[in-house]
Structure 1
Amino acid sequence: MTKTILGLDKVKSEKLVIDLNKLLANFQTYYQNLRGLHWNIKGKNFFELHMKFEELYTDSQLKIDLIAERILTLQGTPLHTFDDYIKAAKVPVGKNISKDVEAVSLVVDSLSELLKIEREILDLSAEADDEGTNSMMSDFISEQEKTIWMLNAWLG
């Protein structure tokens, strides 16, 4: 078994890089959705949701950087073109959404999709003894589960 410079199984690390790139592409789509929701939201919940979407896209920006840096740490190359993101993303794309319930539902659906990918990575990183990736996924998952709970409470 060949090891990486970090002492991890090379084949397992390469698989993690592929999945982390998939997560990166999905986060980029999620981030862009949030920017659009922030800009286009209308109605009585404008102020509340405008601020919430900004909070979420700012958090996403940080996570995108963490994912890309983890890929680099594992000696991979992060995806970095819109073409790559479009090909790899499964997060639903929201276009011209201005209604509050539709906007919040898109965020919940997007987070649910991200959670699926993160749980796959969590399983793989545990199997590969990759504590760095494992810890990052655990943090992401617990935060996003709480966000889904809160947004679903808002939806009623």
Structure 2
Amino acid sequence: MTDTNSIGLHESSASQLAEKLNHLLANYQVFYMNVRGYHWNVKGSDFFELHVKFEEFYTDLLTKVDEVAERILTLGHKPVHAYSDYAKLSHIQEDKDVHDGQACVNGVVKGYQTLIELQRELLSLASDADDEGTASLASDYIREQEKTIWMLNAYLGK
């Protein structure tokens, strides 16, 4: 009898990774809704520019939501899929009634910073478990999001 799952990872490691991925999934879902709200509600002289940029962000976030959920399934576990679970698990809080462009951009930066922190923890755990698939996913996301933060900070004049 073996204690590995169908992709050759130790079941205990896969379980820990799936739990961490579910926390990441919850954060992605709440952040996705925040960015949708920014897209819908932003006002001001930067409306046209930010409206389009927020759509790019939430489209990418939605893709990542799906990829994270599918990684959980690949590990042999079940992704959380109820908003009540997302609210409990997420470090990112709902950002309601935000319409000022700079406040919206600051919300995006803060959200990406939280995701990067969680993904670094996931990367470390995945590396320890010899889970190249999860490690690669986290590493790719970190690289993209670090560049996005740099660009958003440049937009904000920081």
Whether TM exceeds 0.5 here: the answer is yes
Q: Which residue of 2 aligns with 1:30?
A: 31
Shift of 1:5: 1.3
Gapped regions of structure 2 (runs ≥ 5): none
- Does the 8 A contact of 1:92 with 1:110 survive in 2? no
Paired letter, 2:86 = Y
Paired letter, 2:7 = L
Once residues 71 and 79 of structure 1 are traced to their aligned partners in structure 2, the CA distance between those partners, rounded to angstroms, is 9
- Does the 8 A contact of 1:97 with 1:103 survive in 2? yes
Q: Which residue of 1 aligns with 2:131?
A: 130
Task: Tell me the matched-pair count.
Answer: 156
TM score, norm. by length of structure 2: 0.97
- Per-residue Cα deviation, 1:77-128 (whole angstroms, up to 9, x for no partner): 0010000000000013211100011100000011100111100000000000
Once residues 153 and 108 of structure 1 are traced to their aligned partners in structure 2, the CA distance between those partners, rounded to angstroms, is 11
Once residues 94 and 107 of structure 2 are traced to their aligned partners in structure 1, the CA distance between those partners, rounded to angstroms, is 8
Q: Which residue of 2 aligns with 1:9?
A: 10
Shift of 1:51: 0.3
Q: Which residue of 2 aligns with 1:49?
A: 50
Q: CA RMSD in A?
A: 0.8
Once residues 69 and 13 of structure 1 are traced to their aligned partners in structure 2, the CA distance between those partners, rounded to angstroms, is 13
Paired letter, 1:86 = A
Q: Which residue of 2 aligns with 1:80?
A: 81
TM score, norm. by length of structure 1: 0.98
Once residues 111 and 2 of structure 1 are traced to their aligned partners in structure 2, the CA distance between those partners, rounded to angstroms, is 36
- Does the 8 A contact of 1:4 with 1:10 survive in 2? yes
Q: Does 1:107 align with 2:108?
A: yes
Once residues 72 and 89 of structure 2 are traced to their aligned partners in structure 1, the CA distance between those partners, rounded to angstroms, is 16
Gapped regions of structure 1 (runs ≥ 5): none
Paired letter, 1:127 = D
Paired letter, 1:73 = T
Q: Does the residue aligned with 1:8 lie in a helix, a strand or coil?
A: coil
